[in-house]
Structures are given as C-alpha cells and as structure tokens.
C-alpha cells in the first residue's frame, strides 16, 4: 500500500485517469493539478493549484506521457489553465522524490539533473515498450484496414525493424494470415525472424524486397524508406510509419509518387487510452511501492 505517500499529478489525458485511479486505490495522498474540468472524482484525491509549497512534501510527481515542452509547459486536456513546471518548483522537492513521465524533453532533463532529482522515463523501459507494442500494432492494423481495399489475410506485409514494436507488429500480422517479410540489420534478428516463420531480409537490401508489398510498417526511427525504396514499390503499397517523429519515410517523395504514406505516432493513447493508461499505472505503482518500501526500511 502507499499509505502516507504524497503524489502530485500535473496535467495529463485519459491515460492519466487510470494512473490516478490505481494510486488512490493504493491509498496514496494524491494532489491533482490541471483536472478542474474533469467530471469524474477520485476518493483520496484533492484538486489543488501549481504552487511552490505543494512540492515540499512530495514523494513523486507524475507528468503526462510527453512531460513538458521545451519551455516547461505541461499539457492537460482536463483544464483550460496554463500549467508550467518551473525550476523553483523542482528546487522545493525533497531529494528522494522522483518525477515520472513517458518521454522527457531536454528542458525537463536539465531541470532534474540541475536539482539532482531522479527522472523516470517510462517509455524507455523494455516492459512498458513491449506492453505498448500491443495497442500500437492494433492501431497500425486499424490504419491498414482503413486505407486498403484488401484483407490483411494474404497481404504482402513488410515490417522494418525487429525490436519491441516490430516483433509484435510482425506476429500480429502473421496471426491474421498476412505474408510477413521482416527487414533487420542484425544476424540474430534475422535468425529469430526466420525461426518465427517470417521471411527475413537485411535492410541494406530493402529495395529488392518491396516490389510486391501491399503494406509496409516501419519501426526504424531514421530515414530508411527513401525515395529509392519508394520507387521500387508498386503504387498500391500503403506505408504506415510507426517510428517517432519525423518517421523514417520520405513522405514528400511518396506523395509525388502517389504512394499513400501515413505517419502514425502515439497510437496507444489514441486507439486504447484505457489500456495504455493501465500499462503506465501498473509500472508506476510498482516503482513507487518499491521506493516507499525502501524508505520505510531505512526509517
Ligand atoms: P526498438 O526496440 O529499439 O526497435 C527498433 C528497431 O529498429 C531495432 O530492431 C533496431 O535494430 C532497428 N533499427 C534502428 N535503426 C536501424 C537502421 N538504421 N537500420 C536497420 N534497423 C534499424 O524500438 P521500439 O520500441 O520498437 O520503437 C520503435 C519506434 O517506434 C520508436 O521510434 C518508437 O518511439 C516508436 N513507437 C511508436 C509508437 C506509435 O504509436 N507509433 C508506439 C511505440 C513506439 P537494432 O536492434 O539492430 O538496433
């Protein structure tokens, strides 16, 4: 249980509600900042303002998946007020306090390192990335279905990258009966993709493997689907680029060539915010409980 542990939520979206729910169920003392337009209420959570004093007793601060922008502004879909995390807020935090977010921009990283506060970037964790790959693959399938006039079953589907998202994407497509080709750069990924029944190839030879593609799902976060690769595809190919912005596709060339290319970031939060929130809630609550237990043991 988190009895006595003080946690502040600053801004957030539908995913955040799942985290609030979980932490209040665990009996934490929860302060909500930027939830004034929220209809739902949580037992054990109190609405408050973003003041310096609030930070002096906190054990954890939870920011939305994107943390802050480059000037410290925090996005909150349940408020019309401006939320800005400033150095004077962080300076008030006890040294054991931690800040949790999905991905941090340099502003937040610098703020935390200047004040020696631990920053936890949840989306960098393997477990979170693997769990998140499930709604990501489902969202990618949704886009594929919406943007083609063929079934996934039987579709020649190229997946680029065989990491946490690529492996799930390939397996999900295979489950629906697609013909799955997987582009990798490591021998061990080639071997694993082969073992799993995919048709592996090396990305250095990508142009040779897209000639019959109905669908291409990219998870490589650098320019890989170049003009040359797009020129080797049939015009019917639909590219769904899952890699973080700006993606790995030459979108300008794809448009010129008449190949449909979609950049699809943030799918878990869009297609399955409840599940995406539960993923975050489960990991964050575990981490905060471990910290609470450690502090209690040291006391
Ligand atoms: P990951 O586990 O690191 O996988 C990335 C894969 O790309 C690895 O297999 C890596 O190979 C490969 N790769 C990287 N650079 C390459 C290159 N130049 N040539 C060939 N292969 C290359 O990352 P992930 O968690 O799957 O995430 C992949 C991307 O999807 C990230 O940009 C992430 O932000 C994004 N993402 C998007 C969504 C969404 O909703 N659209 C959701 C989750 C994640 P090595 O192992 O050899 O490095």
Confidence class for position 260, pLDDT limits 50, 70, 90: very high
**From the CB of 186, is ligand 1 less than 6 Å away?**
yes
pLDDT at 296 over 90: no
Confidence class for position 200, pLDDT limits 50, 70, 90: very high
* C-alpha of residue 167 to centroid of ligand 1, in Å: 10
**Ligand 1 atom nearest to 162, measured from its CA:** 9
Which of 177, 140, 135, 139 lies closest to 155 in space, CA to CA? 177
Check: CB of residue 200 under 8 Å from CB of residue 182.
yes
pLDDT at position 90: 96
Mean pLDDT of 186-215: 98
Q: What are phi and psi of 182, to 5 degrees?
A: -125, 125
Which of 105, 221, 223, 226 has the most ligand 1 atoms within 8 A of CB, as the residue to mutate? Answer: 221
pLDDT at position 227: 98
**From the CB of 263, is ligand 1 less than 6 Å away?**
no
Enter the DSSP assignment of 150: S
Mean pLDDT of 215-219: 98
Tell me which residue has its CA closest to atom 5 in ligand 1.
163
Mean pLDDT of 116-125: 96
pLDDT at position 125: 96
pLDDT at 295 over 90: no
Confidence class for position 205, pLDDT limits 50, 70, 90: very high
pLDDT at position 84: 97
| Average pLDDT over the chain, rounded to an integer | 96
Mean pLDDT of 76-94: 96
Tell me which residue has its CA closest to atom 27 in ligand 1.
165
Confidence class for position 297, pLDDT limits 50, 70, 90: confident
**From the CB of 220, is ligand 1 less than 6 Å away?**
yes
Confidence class for position 83, pLDDT limits 50, 70, 90: very high
Tell me which residue has its CA closest to atom 28 in ligand 1.
219
Which of 166, 219, 246, 271 has the most ligand 1 atoms within 8 A of CB, as the residue to mutate? Answer: 219
Mean pLDDT of 278-290: 95
Which of 126, 162, 163 has the most ligand 1 atoms within 8 A of CB, as the residue to mutate? Answer: 163
Helices (H), the chain: 14-25, 87-91, 106-114, 126-146, 164-175, 187-195, 227-231, 251-257, 267-271, 273-298
pLDDT at position 230: 98
pLDDT at position 66: 87
**Ligand 1 atom nearest to 244, measured from its CA:** 32
pLDDT at position 106: 96
pTM of the model: 0.91
Tell me which residue has its CA closest to atom 2 in ligand 1.
163
* C-alpha of residue 128 to centroid of ligand 1, in Å: 14
Confidence class for position 16, pLDDT limits 50, 70, 90: very high
**Ligand 1 atom nearest to 221, measured from its CA:** 32
Q: What are phi and psi of 58, to 5 degrees?
A: -75, 145
Confidence class for position 98, pLDDT limits 50, 70, 90: very high
The lowest-confidence range among 41-45, 51-55, 93-97 is: 41-45
User: What is d(CA 172, CA 165) in angstroms, rounded to the nearest whole number?
Assistant: 11
Which is higher by pLDDT, 297 or 135? 135
**From the CB of 267, is ligand 1 less than 6 Å away?**
yes
User: What is d(CA 67, CA 44) in angstroms, rounded to the nearest whole number?
Assistant: 24
**Ligand 1 atom nearest to 266, measured from its CA:** 40
Confidence class for position 294, pLDDT limits 50, 70, 90: confident
């Amino acid at each position: 249980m988190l009895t006595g542990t003080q946690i502040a939520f600053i801004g957030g979206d539908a995913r955040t509600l799942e985290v609030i729910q979980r932490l209040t169920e665990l009996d934490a003392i929860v302060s909500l900042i930027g939830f004034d337009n929220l209809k739902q209420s949580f037992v054990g959570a109190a609405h408050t303002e973003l003041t310096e004093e609030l930070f002096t007793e906190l054990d954890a601060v939870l920011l939305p998946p994107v943390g802050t922008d480059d000037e410290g502004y925090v996005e909150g879909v349940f408020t019309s007020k401006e939320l800005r995390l400033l150095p004077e807020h962080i300076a008030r935090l006890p040294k054991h306090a931690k800040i949790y977010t999905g991905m941090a921009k340099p502003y937040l990283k610098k703020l935390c390192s200047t004040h020696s506060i631990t920053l936890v970037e949840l989306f960098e964790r393997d477990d979170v990335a693997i769990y998140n790959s499930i709604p990501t693959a489902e969202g990618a399938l949704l886009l594929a279905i919406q943007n083609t006039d063929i079934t996934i079953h039987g579709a020649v589907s190229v997946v680029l990258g065989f990491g946490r998202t690529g492996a799930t994407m390939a397996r999900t497509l295979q489950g629906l009966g697609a013909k799955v080709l997987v582009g990798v750069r490591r021998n061990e990924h080639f071997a694993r993709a082969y073992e799993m029944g995919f048709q592996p190839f090396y990305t250095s030879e990508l142009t040779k493997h897209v000639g019959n593609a109905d669908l291409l799902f990219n998870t490589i976060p650098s320019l890989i689907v170049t003009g040359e690769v797009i020129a080797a595809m049939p015009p019917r190919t639909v590219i769904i680029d899952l890699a973080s912005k700006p993606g790995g596709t030459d979108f300008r060339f794809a448009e010129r060539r008449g190949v449909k290319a979609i950049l699809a970031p943030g799918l878990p939060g869009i297609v399955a915010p409840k599940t995406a929130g539960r993923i975050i809630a489960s990991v964050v609550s575990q981490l905060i409980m471990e910290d609470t237990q450690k502090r209690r043991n040291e006391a």
